[in-house]
């Protein structure tokens, strides 16, 4: 099941790649239904907050008509940055499934762990490494293509 949903997040990442955005995709699942999708649009929207996760969280809140994303799981191709990990905390998402680690900015355990900090009022069940190779390759290919240009 996790692989099926991660493959949908990968499809979102492809949409980012197609418009020359760093390919990261996210989806949010509520009771076995995909209620929101998002892909990185930082350059296109000229908005530093327009990461895949933030876009998906805003759409899921709209869909559920409230800011608490209870009983929701997010699938994201790359480990969330501080901003996105914080938004996941703020939205009370229950579970986070990550494709590949981010050794530069990853805030779900790799650089810092914001999702299991005893000071904060919410913890997020986190799974790493679902379709890890595919999630790595899409990023690697993107940067290779970018360097050639």
Which residues have a catalytic role annotated?
A: 53
Task: Decide: is 116 part of the binding site for a copy of itself (CB under 8 A).
Answer: no
Task: Decide: is 109 part of the binding site for a copy of itself (CB under 8 A).
Answer: no
Yes or no: say if 76 and 60 are a contact pair by the CB < 8 Å rule.
Answer: no
How far apart CA 53 and CA 96 sit, in angstroms, is 11
Site residues for a copy of itself, 67-106, by CB under 8 A, read: 67-69, 81-87, 89-92, 104-105
Closest contact distance (angstroms) between CB of 44 and a copy of itself is 10
Closest contact distance (angstroms) between CB of 91 and a copy of itself is 4
Instruction: Choose the binding region for a copy of itself from 1-9, 23-31, 44-52, 125-133 (rule: CB under 8 A).
Output: 44-52
Task: Decide: is 35 part of the binding site for a copy of itself (CB under 8 A).
Answer: no
User: Which is it for the CA torsion 16, 18, 20, 22, positive or negative?
Assistant: positive
Q: Locate tokens 């805030």: which residue?
A: 107
Q: How many CB atoms lie within 10 A of CB 12?
A: 23
Q: Considering only CA atoms, which of 16, 18, 23, 36 is closest in space to residue 140?
A: 23
Phi, psi (rounded to 5 degrees) for 95: -140, 140
31, 32, 33, 48: residue in contact with a copy of itself (rule CB under 8 A): 48
The residue ranges that bind a copy of itself (CB under 8 A) are 42-43, 46-51, 54, 57-58, 61-62, 65-69, 81-87, 89-92, 104-105, 107, 111-112, 114, 117, 119-121
């Amino acid at each position: 099941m996790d692989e099926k949903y991660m493959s949908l997040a990968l499809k979102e990442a492809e949409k980012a790649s197609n418009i020359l955005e760093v390919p990261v995709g996210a989806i949010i699942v509520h009771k076995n239904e995909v209620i929101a999708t998002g892909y990185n649009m930082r350059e296109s929207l000229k908005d530093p907050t327009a990461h895949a996760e933030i876009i998906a969280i805003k759409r899921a809140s709209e869909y559920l008509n409230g800011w608490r994303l209870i009983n929701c799981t997010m699938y994201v191709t790359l480990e969330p940055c501080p901003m996105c990990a914080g938004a996941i905390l703020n939205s009370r998402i229950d579970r986070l499934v990550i494709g590949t680690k981010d050794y530069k900015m990853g805030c779900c355990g790799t650089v810092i762990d914001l999702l299991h900090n005893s000071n904060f009022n919410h913890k997020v069940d986190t799974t790493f490494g679902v379709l890890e190779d595919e999630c790595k390759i899409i990023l690697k290919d993107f940067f290779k293509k970018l360097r050639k240009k």
